[in-house]
């Protein structure tokens, strides 16, 4: 595995983001862009469209009054941060960028008529568009059995679920068991579940809960991100606290008794059962057509869906092919990066220009391992040919140009501090 020095990684990801950020001089004054979903993808695309061309009217549709960030949310679950710290307002987008924010939920898209129906507190409204950006994040595929997220939360969409898991964690006593599941890849934030296991183990230690443990039931055959750092975290830093079980595909969940059967292990009456189910594209995105994995295939130059040049899907809901056969990772940083490429492509299209082919996207995740130390991971991509196993060109997509991650020995307090700098930069670049 190629590793990078952390400082080098920070400068590389900044450079990659910048490579996508070359606005065209659009003359598309008066054009209407509607954005569905005000998470990292939707907020960023609204922000950049208005920054790059204030003549374009941008309407952002989002059911919630504010966005609660998943990023840093494991620190809220474990009592190190307050909910306020991850609560992101739309006020700056509205006041500073001139984005019209409509509180409502998109019900349906009429791609032929270029309009979308939105449910609001005052009834349904229809919004017409020249371009539509759909960024609804994820929905869950319920596991077999009687899964009730009010009893056995996912806390994989931040907000009330974060509070619920935090409150349940607080009830854990000595010798109690926290059990969590990890779905098969791809899921949002590849290191996120392993980070959660570490943070819960750290919480139990900090609170002096003797004998209390974390059981990680992973549907994947191995740790999906930063294997070196997390293997060390599980076996050394949190030794005796975390039981990691690979190939644990969920067969049945009973939320009432907090019991679970998997292909590798069954647990009855866990004190806390944190079910993170498999993901698919958020429903309004999925209505545009999905691949076998449940995500919306897009052209990585424009994020347009197949056959509809003015409808784009970005963020966790989309599927972007990558050169290593895996999809581009689903992260807030990547959603922000895709938003810039998409905004640029929309402004070029409105201006009668072709999309830029010289594009790059990037992703970063910082993972707290304890309440004082963190790990990090980056992935950077440039657009180009995608090769098959025999070296033949099988299409166009995003090339993984480097993969940097913290060596196990670089899981430290310095990275823990950098995590907040990085997160605040991303929050600003998406919502301010
Ligand atoms: C514990 C955890 C830690 C993480 N850590 C990191 C990290 O370190 N780095 C990183 O980059 N990423 C991290 N992530 C991943 C990151 O949070 C997601 O990848 C990111 O939120 C995806 O952005 P998005 O805009 O696609 O979706 P979201 O942020 O989920 O936003 C989607 C929005 O669409 C809205 N919506 C849904 N349906 C509709 C509809 N019909 N009409 C209108 N609006 C709708 C939703 O209300 C929501 O606000 C983490 C995730 C978790 C769970």
Neighbouring CB atoms inside 10 A of 209's CB total 17
**Side-chain-side CA neighbours of residue 381 (13 Å):** 30
Is 211 in contact with 240 (CB distance < 8 Å)? no
Q: From CA 272, how far away is CA 325, in angstroms rounded?
A: 36
Give me ligand 1 centre to Cα 37, in Å.
9
> Is the beta carbon of 418 within 6 A of some atom in ligand 1?
no
pLDDT at 23: 52
Q: From CA 203, how far away is CA 170, in angstroms rounded?
A: 9
Q: Whose CA is nearest to atom 20 of ligand 1?
A: 332
Summary mean pLDDT of the chain: 92
Give pLDDT tens digits for 381-420.
Answer: 999 887 777 888 877 889 888 767 777 777 889 999 999 9
Candidates 40, 72, 103, 117: which one to mutate for ligand 1, based on the most atoms within 8 Å of Cβ? 40
Q: Whose CA is nearest to atom 8 of ligand 1?
A: 365
Average pLDDT over residues 51-63: 97
pLDDT at 2: 35
Q: What superfamily does domain 22-137+282-358+415-431 belong to in CATH?
A: FAD/NAD(P)-binding domain (3.50.50.60)
pLDDT surpasses 70 at 246: yes
Average pLDDT over residues 86-97: 98
Q: Is 271 helix (H, G, I), strand (E, B) or coil?
A: coil
Give pLDDT tens digits for 325-377.
Answer: 777 999 999 999 999 999 999 999 999 999 999 999 999 889 999 999 999 99
What are the backbone angles phi and psi of residue 149, rounded to the nearest 5°? -65, -15
Q: At how many degrees (to 10) do helices 332-350 and 413-431 cross?
A: 30
Domain boundaries along the sequence of the chain: 22-137+282-358+415-431, 142-278
> Is the beta carbon of 62 within 6 A of some atom in ligand 1?
yes
**Side-chain-side CA neighbours of residue 37 (13 Å):** 28
pLDDT surpasses 80 at 47: yes
> Is the beta carbon of 333 within 6 A of some atom in ligand 1?
yes
Average pLDDT over residues 290-304: 96
Give me ligand 1 centre to Cα 341, in Å.
18
Q: Give the residue, 92 or 15, on which the prediction is more confident.
A: 92
Q: Whose CA is nearest to atom 21 of ligand 1?
A: 332
Q: From CA 262, how far away is CA 181, in angstroms rounded?
A: 10
pLDDT at 193: 98
Q: From CA 328, how far away is CA 320, in angstroms rounded?
A: 6
Query: Does the fold of domain 142-278 match that of domain 22-137+282-358+415-431?
Result: yes
> Is the beta carbon of 315 within 6 A of some atom in ligand 1?
yes
Q: Which atom of ligand 1 is nearest to the CA of 137?
A: 27
Percent of the chain whose pLDDT exceeds 90: 83
Query: With bands split at pLDDT 50, 70 and 90, how would you rate the model's confidence at 118?
Result: very high
Q: Which atom of ligand 1 is nearest to the CA of 196?
A: 1
pLDDT at 326: 72
Q: Which residues pair with 329 in a beta bridge?
A: none
Q: From CA 204, how far away is CA 212, in angstroms rounded?
A: 7
> Is the beta carbon of 103 within 6 A of some atom in ligand 1?
no
Average pLDDT over residues 211-234: 96
Candidates 10, 17, 42, 149: which one to mutate for ligand 1, based on the most atoms within 8 Å of Cβ? 42
Give me ligand 1 centre to Cα 70, in Å.
7
- Among candidates 278, 344, 364, which has minimal Cα distance to 133? 344
Give me ligand 1 centre to Cα 40, in Å.
6
- Among candidates 177, 187, 222, which has minimal Cα distance to 293? 187
Q: Which residues pair with 321 in a beta bridge?
A: 327
Average pLDDT over residues 152-170: 98
> Is the beta carbon of 153 within 6 A of some atom in ligand 1?
no
**How far is C-alpha 207 from the geometric centre of its chain's CA atoms?**
30
pLDDT surpasses 70 at 6: no
pLDDT at 386: 79
Give pLDDT tens digits for 412-429.
Answer: 899 999 999 999 999 999
Q: Which atom of ligand 1 is nearest to the CA of 331?
A: 19
Q: Which atom of ligand 1 is nearest to the CA of 193?
A: 1
Residue 192 parent element (H or E): helix 192-206
Instruction: Tell me the two tokens of residue 276.
Output: 């993170």
> Is the beta carbon of 139 within 6 A of some atom in ligand 1?
no
> Is the beta carbon of 137 within 6 A of some atom in ligand 1?
yes
> Is the beta carbon of 284 within 6 A of some atom in ligand 1?
yes
Q: From CA 53, how far away is CA 142, in angstroms rounded?
A: 42
Assigned CATH for 142-278: 3.50.50.60
Average pLDDT over residues 187-202: 97
């Amino acid at each position: 595995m190629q590793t990078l020095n952390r400082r080098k990684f920070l400068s590389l990801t900044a450079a990659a983001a910048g490579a996508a950020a070359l606005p065209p001089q659009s003359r598309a004054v008066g054009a209407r862009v509607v954005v569905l979903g005000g998470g990292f993808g939707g907020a960023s695309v609204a922000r950049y469209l208005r920054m790059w061309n204030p003549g374009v009217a941008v309407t952002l549709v989002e059911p919630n009054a504010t966005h609660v960030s998943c990023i840093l949310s494991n620190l809220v679950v474990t009592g190190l941060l307050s909910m306020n710290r991850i609560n992101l307002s739309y006020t700056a987008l509205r006041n500073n960028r001139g984005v019209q924010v409509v509180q409502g939920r998109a019900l349906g898209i009429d791609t032929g008529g270029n309009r979308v129906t939105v449910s609001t507190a005052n009834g349904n409204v229809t919004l017409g568009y020249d371009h539509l950006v759909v960024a609804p994040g994820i929905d869950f595929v319920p596991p077999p059995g009687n899964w009730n997220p009010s009893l056995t939360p996912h806390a994989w969409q931040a907000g009330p679920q974060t509070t619920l898991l935090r409150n349940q964690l607080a009830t854990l006593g000595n010798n109690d068991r926290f059990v969590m599941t990890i779905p098969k890849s791809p899921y949002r934030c590849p290191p996120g579940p392993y980070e959660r296991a570490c943070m819960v183990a750290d919480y139990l230690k900090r609170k002096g809960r003797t004998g209390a443990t974390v059981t990680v039931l992973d549907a994947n055959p191995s740790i999906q991100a930063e294997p070196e750092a997390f293997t060390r975290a599980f076996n050394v830093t949190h030794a005796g606290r975390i039981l990691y079980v690979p190939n644990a595909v969920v067969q049945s969940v009973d939320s009432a008794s907090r019991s679970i059967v998997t292909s590798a292990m069954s647990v009855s009456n866990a004190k806390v059962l944190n079910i993170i189910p498999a993901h698919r594209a958020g429903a309004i995105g999925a209505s545009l057509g999905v691949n076998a994995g449940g995500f919306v295939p897009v052209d990585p130059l424009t994020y347009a869906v197949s056959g509809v040049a003015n409808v784009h899907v970005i963020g966790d809901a989309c599927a972007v092919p990558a050169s290593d056969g895996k999809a581009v990772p689903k992260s807030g940083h990547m959603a922000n990066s895709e938003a810039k490429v998409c905004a640029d492509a929309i402004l070029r299209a409105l201006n009668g220009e072709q999309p830029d082919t010289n594009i790059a996207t990037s992703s970063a995740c910082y993972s707290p391992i304890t309440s004082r130390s963190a790990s990090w991971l980056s992935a950077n991509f440039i657009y180009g040919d995608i090769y098959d196993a025999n070296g033949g060109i099988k299409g166009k997509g995003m090339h993984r140009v480097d993969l940097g991650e913290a060596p196990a020995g670089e899981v430290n307090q310095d990275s823990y501090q950098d995590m907040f700098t990085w997160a605040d930069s991303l929050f600003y670049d998406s919502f301010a």
